[in-house]
Amino acid sequence: MRVLVGNKFYFELGGTERYVFQLEQMLRERGHEVIPFATRDPRNRDTAFERYFVEPVDYDALLGRARPVAAVLAAFRAIHSQEAKAKVQKLARETRPQIAHLHNVYHQISPSVLPALRELGVPIVLTLHDLKVLCPGYRMYSNGKICERCASGAFYHAARHRCLKNSLAASLVATIEAYVHAGRKTYEHNVTIFIAPSRFLMSKLARSRFGTARVEYLPHPIDLETFRPDHGSRGYFVYYGRLAREKGVLTLLAAAARLRASRFVIAGDGPYRGEIERCADRLGLRNVEFVGFRRGEELRAIVRGSAATVVPSEWYENAPFSLYESFALGKTVVASRIGGIPELVDHGEDGLLFTPGNDEALAEQLSFLWNHPSLAVEMGRRARSKAESNWGFEQHYGRLMQVYESAMNSSASG
């Protein structure tokens, strides 16, 4: 099968890109031809299809840091990119994909690729890695709180509250984009099947304008060979991921202040790294170590050495990769009871849940594991067993092929 795989970035930036590269690996190993489509970037992986990639959007312009003409051009491209439409059609005509599996194509590529592919008769599967189709700001999170004001279609709230990068210009573009594509029904008319990695997201879609759309539940896979388990511990808790406000790292620091005898490692980078490190300094947290952005085996070694992973998110996490990866590595998880997280964690069996934003509750769960290390190991073993039973490549591949076949049959009959 020839599969066009589209995502705005073709280098490892976050969980979405990790999934995209796992998907490509999984498909190629089983004899399928993968045709990538993304934006140009010097950090991209090597590919013979680079010549079809789209020039990146000028984000300085979108953030209002460029001349007005450049800002207007960048805004139009983010909403509807003629370049992306032309290039994806050229790519599709020359490679003749049987299906397109798209991911985060918003802004840098733009939803213009959806009708472009449908015009050529290519069925489209779109995996929803976040809440973007319901919320211009991606996260349903505004000013430090959960926010669902835009879910009903009142997208102007995103501009009013500067929900994208705290920028009026960027938020206004995202707001206009949302109205344009909701009005045109760009997603509803062109996506054959949506994939939701969590039942939580499915429920949000069911109560929105996507209520009649076809949505299939398919949790993420994990490479069980690469993520080999280690049930030992060098005596620390680890958080790894973006250092952003909605990730709950400040709540983790407040919990660490209650547990001065416990050690914490924070691996990652992001827009709030400076604020988070200053907070740790103010609290005098000598038990917290910031190790910066890590990836690959270096990051896996850090997680393997931990007593548990902490996922303290305060936004509607869909299906956090750090949780899948931690379970595969044989580590129990202390995580917020929010979004799709409770679907993945059986409280008291393979992980512990706490009320998001409650540092006292988080500290209580961490203290329990710190004082019961043998139980933490046993919970980690159960976590690995869950990963093996549910999230291996074979399970994911089999279900994904069913989705692909269904999309192709639906497109052929429709």
pLDDT at 74 (0 to 100): 75
Q: What is the pairing mode between strands 288-292 and 215-217? A: unpaired
Residue 19 CB-half CA count within 13 A: 26
Domain co-membership, 406 together with 386:
no
Tell whether pTM > 0.75.
Answer: yes
Residue 232 resides in a domain: no
- Number of compact structural domains in the chain: 2
- Write the DSSP symbol of residue 65: -
Q: Return d(Cα 409, Cα 99) in angstroms, integer.
A: 11
Indicate whether 295 and 272 sit together in one domain. yes
Residues contacting 174, CB < 8 A, separation 6+:
78, 107, 136, 137, 158, 159, 163, 164
90: tokens are 């050229």
* Per-residue model confidence (pLDDT) at position 411: 77
Q: Are residues 207 and 241 in the same domain?
A: no
Pairing of strands 333-336, 351-354: parallel
Q: Is residue 230 part of a domain?
A: no
Do residues 132 and 271 both lie within one domain?
no
Phi then psi dihedrals of residue 155, to 5 deg: -70, -15
pLDDT at 66: 53
CA distance 49 to 42: 14
Q: What is the pLDDT along the chain (414 residues), one digit of tens a residue?
A: 999 999 999 998 888 999 999 999 999 999 999 999 999 999 999 999 999 999 987 666 556 555 555 667 777 888 999 999 999 999 999 999 999 999 999 989 999 999 999 999 999 999 999 999 999 999 999 999 999 999 999 999 999 999 988 888 889 999 999 999 999 999 999 999 999 999 999 999 999 999 989 999 999 999 999 999 999 999 999 999 999 999 999 999 999 999 999 999 999 999 899 999 999 999 999 999 999 999 899 999 999 999 999 999 999 999 999 999 999 999 999 999 999 999 999 999 999 999 999 999 999 999 999 999 999 999 999 999 999 999 999 999 999 999 999 999 987 765
Q: Degrees (nearest 5) of the Cα angle 335, 392, 353? A: 10
pLDDT at 168: 87
Q: What is the CATH number of the domain that holds 359?
A: 3.40.50.2000
Provide DSSP, 318-333: SS-HHHHHHHHTT--E
Residue 297 included in any domain: yes
Residue 228 within any structural domain of the chain: no
> Does residue 108 form part of some domain?
yes
Residue 413's pLDDT is 65
| 68 SS3 class | helix
The answer to whether residue 227 is domain-embedded is: no
- At 202 the pLDDT is 97
Residues 114 and 245 in one domain: no
Boundaries of domain holding 408: 2-221+393-413
**What is the pLDDT at residue 61?**
55
Q: Indicate whether 200 and 126 sit together in one domain.
A: yes
Q: Are residues 172 and 132 in the same domain?
A: yes
Q: Could you tell me the sign of the dihedral formed by the alpha carbons of 139, 144, 148, 151, in that order?
A: negative
Residues 208 and 277 in one domain: no
296 lies in some domain: yes
CA distance 199 to 246: 21
Q: Please check whether residues 359 and 407 belong to one and the same domain.
A: no
Write the pLDDT tens digit of every residue in 201-237.
Answer: 999 999 999 998 999 999 999 999 999 999 999 999 9
Q: Give the residue from 218, 3, 209, 19 showing the smallest Cα distance to 103.
A: 19
The Cα 45–Cα 28 span in angstroms is 16
Are 51 and 198 found together in one domain? Answer: yes
191, 319: one domain:
no
In a domain, 229, yes or no: no
80 and 208 inside one domain: yes
